[in-house]
Amino acid sequence: MTNYSFIRYETLPAAENGTTFTQSNFIRKEPNTLIFEGVTGLTFIDCNLTNCIVPADASTISCLSIQKSFCSHLHPKFNLDECVENCNHVVDTDEVWIDGELVNIIYYYEDTIV
């Protein structure tokens, strides 16, 4: 049970072959991030593996295994590279018109499953 998320561990500590991780948080900042490359026989049970690519021979049991592009507008605590206002995470917009003039655009964002 350890919080290995990228906020606490930008670089994961080394793991020994055959290690079993239980109820741990491995979330990475960027999708498709290799973790524990070259380590064999790993088992992940009940872990958060968001944006992780585990070694090919690793076992995962009841883990969250998604690849997600995070929007910086939604996650100020993630210290992500700042998205532009009209980034590719925009899912909807509202235009604000006053006296026939477009004065503002409100953007709605969602993280993207990749």
Partner 1 sequence: MTDYYVDPAAEGENDGSSWTDAWTSLQTAADTVTAGNTVYCRGTETLSATIDFDTNSGDTSSNGYIKYIGCNSGGTNDGTQFILDGNSSATYCISLGVNYVYFENFQFKNATSHGVTGSTSYGMVFLNCTFNNNGGAGIYGYAIVYGSVLIRCLFYSNTTAGVLQFRGTSILFCCMRDNTTDGLDLSNSINSSVLHNLFFDNGDCGIESVGYNLIYGNVCDSNTSHGLRRSTGTYPYIAIGNRFTNQNSAGDSGINDQDRTGVSGWNYFEDNNTNLLNVTYSIELLNNGATTNEADQADTSEGYTSKSEGSEDYNLRSDATLRRTAIQIPTGQ
* Inter-residue contact 96 to 82 (CB < 8 Å): no
Under rule CB under 8 A, residue 72 binds partner 1: no
Which of 6, 36 has the CB closer to partner 1?
6
Cα separation, 90 vs 100, whole angstroms: 25
Coil/strand/helix, residue 22: strand
Helices (H), the chain: none
- Write the binding mask 77 to 96 for partner 1: x where contact by CB under 8 A, - elsewhere: xx------------------
Q: Contact 35/52 with Cβ under 8 angstroms?
A: yes
Taking the C-alpha atoms of residue 39 and residue 100, their distance in angstroms, rounded to an integer, is: 62
Nearest approach in angstroms of CB 77 to partner 1 is 5
The mark string for 10-29 relative to partner 1 (x by CB under 8 A, - otherwise) is -------------xxx-x--
Q: Which residues bind partner 1 (CB under 8 A)?
A: 1-3, 5-8, 23-25, 27, 46-48, 50, 62-66, 68, 75, 77-78, 111, 113
